Each structure stands twice: as C-alpha cells, then as structure tokens.
Amino acid sequence: MKKKPKKTRKPALRGRDYLSVDDFSAAEIRSLLALTADIKAHPKRYRSALTGKMMALIFEKPSLRTRTTFTVGIKQLGGDSLLLTPADINLGKRESVYDVAKNLERMVDGIMIRTFGHDICTGLAHHASIPVINGLTDLEHPCQAMADIFTVIEHKKNLKRLKLSYIGDGNNVAHSLMLMAAKLGTTVFVATPEGYKPRQDVLDRAVALARESGGQVVWTADPVEAAREADMIYTDTWASMGQESEADERRRIFAPYQVNMALFSHAKEDALFMHCLPAHRGQEVTDEVIDSPNSVVFQEAENRLHAQKAIMLELLRD
C-alpha cells in the first residue's frame, strides 16, 4: 500500500506582524512561550533554523537590550541583521515610511523597528509585505511583555493564581504587560498617579480581555493597595525617552510610587521584583530592592533574547 505523503505544518504565525500584544491570541502567546522555553533550554537545536534570513533593525531610539538581543538572536538562529539608524533613513523626513517599506521588502526578510510614534510602526507594517516586529513605540513594548511573562512563568508557573502589580507611570511597558497578563488570566493591579494612568482605550481593552480569561485588571492611585500580597512588583522609569523636559516634575509627582523596601514589604515574602531596564536607581527603585534576592531584572533582560528568537523564528521560518 502506497504511503500518503506527510503533511507539512505551516507555521501559524508565518508572515504575520507583531506590533501589539493584541496581535496574537492567548493560544498563540502560550505557544510562543513554550517555544521560548525550548530555545532557552536547547539553543543548539535552532542554530540553523533561519539560515539565509536577513533582518533589518531600524533604531530611531537608543538601545542596549533591544539592539543586542535582536542582533545576537538572529545570528544564533543562523541568520543575519542589518542596522539602520536615523542617519541612514530619517523616517518620514529623508524618506517616507511607504518608500522605506517598499524598498526593504525587496531586500530583507523581516523588519524590527524601535521608534517613537506607533503610527510609524503600523504604517511600515501596512506597506511592507514582510513581517514587522515592534521593538518599542510610545504605545507598546510587546517583545518586553513576552520576556516578562516568560520570566514570571519560570518562577511562579501558574499565571492564573498570581497578582502582578505594576507601580509607576502608565506607559508603553505598562500597556503591553497589562494586555499580556490579562490575556493569560492573571490578576493585574496598575498603580499610577491620577494624571498618569494608562491610556483609557488600552485599559478598557485589558479589562475586557481579563473578563474573558478569568483574570482581573484594576487601576488604583494607591501604591500600597497594588503592592499588598502581590506575587510580582514591576516598575519602570518615570520619564521615558522624549519626556526628559518633564523629569523634575515627574520625580516630585512619582516620589510616593518609588519601589523601596517599605513598599515592597507589603508584597508576599517570595515576591519578584521586575524592571525592564534601564533603571534610575534612587528614583523609581532603590538599590536595596533591585539588588535584593527577590530581583529578577537581569534574568528578565536575558529572556528578551530567548523570547525574541521565538518570535523571529515563528514569523520568518519557511
């Protein structure tokens, strides 16, 4: 009897963009998290997975972790990368987003962009026929959220029994973390000053996602309420890139939201401290917390490499 040829599985995410956490379903995120774990545990299995693939890395903002992890990650998968800075492109000024997209789709296999306006990222994805990955915009930081949740799983396992508390500015990191955790059924508390809440549309979307997943999303102006019995406390810089002129005012407003030992003591004894880095020690977090045994910030940074390798692999492989 003649054997039927085996069906080859088409990667579910092949050719897709990753601009927002909301681009992937909860099942797709879980699949990527499982792949991240396997890549981290068995890196040699994947060293030729993207042989011949080329990523264009566009940086409109400075970077340590994003640049290093994408550059190293694609090389560890057998591919290569091309760095493009404002001096090379100057998006929207020297060349339009449309023209950049139509050029790059003919020359490379995928694009990672780290920029300011989220509309630049979505415009690039709209016009380019190749996958586009958001390495950070003012609205979201979805690759960071993937690494963050993977780090939580490494330590805490069951996401649905956890309280994750974000304390500080309701910025792009807060947006993506909130959406990711809500999709996966985690209870999320976000504590910010009244005038620095997450964007209302993002907050509403996270609440709706949590309702579907069995999780919960709560905004509060009280950092102690957020920290109380938390399994993880997360913070980020009070003034993001482009907000330097507001730094002094923000330091005054956010002072009660500093993650110090007094605030951290309200969390569970084995609570994790998380930060996407770079950290402004003595501002949003004290040395005593970030250097404590509870801190997983450098493991979290390393996991950017593994999570982004999983994302690139699923979007780019044949």
- DSSP of 29-93: HHHHHHHHHHHHH-GGGGTTTTTT-EEEEEESS--SHHHHHHHHHHHHTT-EEEEE-TTT--BTT
Q: Which of 109, 148, 275, 276 is catalytic?
A: 276
Q: What is the pTM of this model?
A: 0.94
Give the CATH number of domain 21-140+304-316; options: 1.20.120.420, 2.70.70.10, 3.40.50.300, 3.40.50.1370: 3.40.50.1370
| 199 noted as active-site residue | no
| 304 noted as active-site residue | yes
Contact 292, 53 (CB under 8 A): no
Contact 74, 312 (CB under 8 A): yes
Q: What is the CA radius of gyration of the chain?
A: 20
- What is the pLDDT, as a whole number, of residue 7? 47
- List the structure tokens of 292: 């404590």
| 161 noted as active-site residue | no
| 236 noted as active-site residue | yes
Nearest to 54 by CA among 16, 80, 91: 80
- What is the pLDDT, as a whole number, of residue 2? 47
CATH class given for the domain over 142-300: alpha beta
Q: Which of 236, 250, 275, 308 is catalytic?
A: 236
Residue ranges of the chain that CATH labels 3.40.50.1370: 21-140+304-316, 142-300
| 14 noted as active-site residue | no
Q: What percentage of residues in the chain have a pLDDT greater than 70? A: 96
Q: Which of 16, 17, 144, 283 is catalytic?
A: 144
Q: Which of 205, 275, 304, 306 is catalytic?
A: 304
- What is the pLDDT, as a whole number, of residue 241? 66
Q: Which of 65, 141, 205, 250 is catalytic?
A: 141
Contact 223, 256 (CB under 8 A): yes
Kindly report, residue by residue over 162-195, the tens digit of the pLDDT.
999 999 999 999 999 999 999 999 999 999 999 9
In eight-state DSSP terms, residue 221 is: S
| 258 noted as active-site residue | no
- What is the pLDDT, as a whole number, of residue 87? 85
Rounded CA-CA distance 120/186 in Å is 31
- Among 53-62, 174-183, 232-241, 280-289, name the one with the lowest average pLDDT: 232-241
Amino acid identity of residue 35, one-letter, is L
